[in-house]
Amino acid sequence: MSKPTAIFSAIGLIAGSLATAGAEEPIRSFKSFAEPFLVEYCFDCHDASTEKGGVSLEELTDISPDNAVLWKSVWEQVALGEMPPRDKKNQPEKMDRFWLSQWITGGLEQALADEGGFYTHLHPSKANHLDHDLLFGEIEGEFKPASTPARIWRIHPQEHLVRLNELIDKEPEYDPENPGLRARGDFIPWNTLGEVRVYFGLDRITGWVGGSAAYTAAITGFPPILTTANDHGLRNYAMQYSVNGAEATQISQNAEDILVFMAHGPKGEPYQFVDDPKKVKRPAEYDGLDIRGTIQSLVYSPDPERPLTPVYELLKEPGVTDERIQAAVDFLFEALTFRPPTKKEAKTYVRMVQEAIADLGEEEGAILGLSSIFLDREALFRTELVEYGTPDEHDRVMLQDWELALAVNGAFSYLPPNSELRQAVLDGRMKTREDVEREVARIIEDPSIRKPRVLQFFREYFDYDRAGRICKDTAALKNAAGGNDTRRYTEAMYAATQSTDRLIELILEEDRDVLSELLTTDRVVYDRRNDTLYYSTHENLKNPKPKPHPDKRNKKIEPTPEEKGHTILPDGERVKVRVPALRYYSGNSDRVLTTAPKAERMGILTHPAWLVSHTDAMDNHAIHRGKWVRERLLGGAVPDVPITVDAQLPDEPGTTLRHRMRVTAEEYCWSCHDKMDPLGLPFEMYNHIGLYRTTEYGEPVDTSGEIIDSGDPSIDGPVTDALDLIRKLAESERVEQVFVRHAFRYWMGRNETLNDALILQEAWRAYRDSGGSMNALITSLVTSDAFLYRQVKPKRKDIASE
């Protein structure tokens, strides 16, 4: 990095909207820059006469839709240091690689603008294409200070669901005695079948007819409406999502149901609302009828427990007034957008309600008119547009007032800003970095302010929340000792995710050496009734038959976990995990905090939730596991699978995964697979449902692996098994830095650029100097320029607020 001006102009290229004013940026063209690079470093092997691997770059010209695929491939190979091959002496400088990457991605953006655009480099999976050493190495030269483009950011589907749930359900307040139990503001947990739903009037149901299945069928609810990618890794960048027409239609339909419920409570006939569910008297017309599973089968408390709001006031008696309409609009707007409406906004919606009432009458008109607020832009997107304020010399404007408050609030919470934060905005005390520091400290210190966004980061970073979604092949499940009951197995996997959630929260409460602790702790959150199998050793399992029942001839006594050879972990502190409020399928919230055998497990990468999340229907997925370690811990990346590759392992039943993976060791495959396979194969010490094992197909299981070219030479070298691998990784400074990079991405909602280098370094220092405090890390990120400043178009003058 000997040329500061070079860095400076590189910054301009990083993101179009971040282009610097006044930077002296040399125009880099194909002729002046890219072609000489190719000639110097690539043509030895890839000109028209050599064409190694069938690839010739000699005919490459300026970037166009026709050659975009080849250029994209060049970008990945060069950015990741794959090409020129590592054994070639003539290697470009890291900054030259960076330069070419910027030139290519910028060129692809332009060339493909009319063909669906080029966004690949902005995707979280490509963030590691920016060399780690450039970000954490010595920074020379002038940097344009960091900022994030002004933008709108669609809210997370869970946040949206929580907003809607707040309108219809009264959730329990935080209980300091049982901090793991679900409280108001927590995310909506899935049930044991993996379904996420909110229900109308759940808090008010006191009885029903029939069993719990009938109860579940009788109550009405809805699932998340907005969607995110169902994929590994960070899933909610600002650039990734909009709200499509189909989603908007569903929101609008749900809005009317919600409003009717807000106004009138649960649908039901008068006899269903009684103090004592046993004293319910159904009219004669129901005599002899089976009403199980119908809404008529439910009994409600007459006490209107749902949140009573101005929407209830609006419709509780005939004769709506303008004042009541105004109050309902004001209330609903703030409940859905988290800020009060401006006068103009309020006027618009009041008029819509009035007009709808004129068309349809009071009841239906009010409902329809108010439903439009659910589709307001800010009920679906968080805006960070800095529409007023004074740009600094780099065309950056700091977020302020509501935008700032909502950004800070949204970094932790799915609920609206609480009264202190709200008041701070109204008093004009949400404008400066100090204001942010004050509010962040207050939010972090208050455990009753639930912080689902923080837990969500760990879910997306570790990818441990996918275990229940991996649908196992029945025979493969049985072979792995998972039994015949796929449903029971799936339930156990969703429960395993809840346990890992809780363990992470417990470690976050301690807030010391968070990453290292997560990677190496011997503690597990454990369900003593259902988890014994999954912490067992495969070879120790026995298969005793059920014994006849001494009294009942038709009944049998199932063998105990001990009789089945399960490993029973020691008793421990009682803890609770989050389960849905719906009783049926909600699962068990009781767990213990205990320890697993040190020789078998170490940290959450060895817990069933993580292990199974990285398997497929038939077996372990050593490649995914290795890829995870390479990307999330080592900060490396693997280029997309080339189009010419048939990425299949041979189907050879009765052979080990390691044996089948021999095909990836062929020269052509190995250049990528050496980054993944040796990091994933040490986890072969567990079978594909997470059981510890010492043998496979009668032979001792081979758990060897290797850390190759990690970027931290101190940890490179062979490893004996997953525990050895994890121990080494947990000690690496680089691993800690890569963790910080991921936290940056998650909280900024975008990939880091070289402009962010200082912020990343500071965040890492904050984490390290505080003894590994996640709170210190988040505070550092959320008070950084990248979080606080938005880039606007050059030369915008001061614009005052309303």
For another protein, the binding residues (CB under 8 A) are 17, 66, 112, 115-117, 149-152, 193, 195-197, 223-224, 227, 229-231, 239, 241-250, 252-253, 348, 352, 355-356, 359-360, 364-365, 368-369, 371-372, 375-377, 380-381, 385, 387, 471-474, 617-618, 641, 643, 646-648, 651
For another protein, the closer CB: 67 or 540? 67
Q: Which is nearer to another protein, 245 or 270 (CB)?
A: 245
- 60: closest CA among 46, 78, 41? 46
Question: Cα separations (Å) of 220 from 133, 200, 374, 663?
Answer: 54, 6, 20, 52
Nearer to another protein by C-beta: 42 or 225?
225
Smallest distance, another protein to C-beta of residue 753, A:
15
Phi-psi region of 228 (alpha: psi -120 to 50; beta: other; left: phi over 0): beta
Least Å distance, CB 250 to another protein, is 7
Nearer CB in complex with another protein: 59/177: 59
Beta bridge partners of 151: 384
Q: Give the nearer residue to another protein in terms of CB position, either 284 or 800.
A: 800
- Smallest gap from Cβ 594 to another protein, in A, equals 33
Task: Tell me the C-alpha distance between 802 and 798, whole Å.
Answer: 13
Residue whose tokens read 């199980």: 292
State which residue, 49 or 648, has the beta carbon closest to another protein: 648
Toward another protein, which CB reaches closer, 222 or 692? 222
Neighbour-count burial for 753-782, b at 16+ CB within 10 Å, e otherwise: bbbbbbbbbebbebbbebebbbbbbbbbbb
C-alpha pair distances (Å), 218 with each of 205, 225, 270, 306: 11, 21, 17, 18
Residues in the chain: 802
CB of 747 to another protein, least distance (A): 19
Min separation Cβ 772 and another protein, Å: 33
How far the first Cα of the chain sits from its last, in Å, is 46
Q: Minimum Å distance from CB 32 to another protein?
A: 27
Cβ proximity to another protein, 145 vs 149, nearer residue: 149
Question: Is the CB of 183 or the CB of 477 nearer to another protein?
Answer: 477
CA distance 225 to 244: 11
Give the whole-angstrom CA distance, residue 64 versus residue 476.
47
- Return the number of the residue (135 or 368) whose C-beta is nearest another protein: 368
DSSP-based three-state secondary structure for 575: strand
Q: How far is the CB of 17 from another protein (least distance, A)?
A: 6
CA–chain centroid gap for 619, Å, is: 25
Choice between 149 and 210, CB closer to another protein: 149
Cβ closest to another protein, residue 103 vs residue 241: 241
Report which secondary-structure segment, H or E, holds 207. strand 205-207
Q: How far is the CB of 54 from another protein (least distance, A)?
A: 10
When the beta carbons of 6 and 239 are compared against another protein, the nearer one is 239
CA distances from 268 to 202, 289, 471 (A): 13, 17, 39
Q: How many CB atoms lie within 10 A of CB 650?
A: 10
Burial readout 46-63 (b: 16 or more C-beta within 10 A, e: otherwise): bbeeeeeeebbbeebeeb
Give the chain's radius of gyration (CA, Å): 29
**Closer to another protein by Cβ: residue 519 or 657:** 657
Structure-block tokens of residue 246: 């189909």
3-state helix, strand, coil in the chain (%, to 5): 50, 10, 45
Least distance between another protein and beta carbon 663 (Å): 13
- Cβ proximity to another protein, 90 vs 648, nearer residue: 648
Give all strands (DSSP E) within 582-626, no chain letters.
590-595
Residue with tokens 């290229």: 13
**Cis link prior to 302 (omega < 30° from 0)?**
no
Least CB distance from residue 775 to another protein, whole Å? 31
d(CA 198, CA 213): 17
Residue with tokens 């109308």: 200
334 and 373 Cβ atoms separated by less than 8 Å = no
AA identity, residue 525: V
* Closest approach of another protein to the CB of residue 607, in Å: 23
The least distance separating another protein from the CB of residue 689, rounded to whole angstroms, comes to 15
Q: How far is the CB of 247 from another protein (least distance, A)?
A: 7
In contact, 609 and 466? CB cutoff 8 Å: no
User: Pairing relation of β-strands 789-791 and 148-149?
Assistant: parallel
Residue type, position 679, single letter: L
Nearer to another protein, 355 or 571 (CB): 355
Q: Which is nearer to another protein, 326 or 474 (CB)?
A: 474
Tell me the closest approach of the beta carbon of residue 643 to another protein, in angstroms. Answer: 6
* Least distance in angstroms from the C-beta of 788 to another protein: 17
Q: How many CA atoms lie within 13 A of 685 on its CB side?
A: 21
| Residue in 336, 331, 295 with CA at minimum distance from that of residue 311 | 331
Alpha-carbon span 157 to 452, nearest angstrom: 12
Token pair in block for residue 310: 């101005």
- Least separation in angstroms between residue 245's CB and another protein is 2
d(CA 251, CA 253): 5
Least distance in angstroms from the C-beta of 567 to another protein: 29
The answer to whether the CB of 651 falls within 8 A of the CB of 451 is: no
Cβ atoms of residues 93 and 37 within 8 Å: no
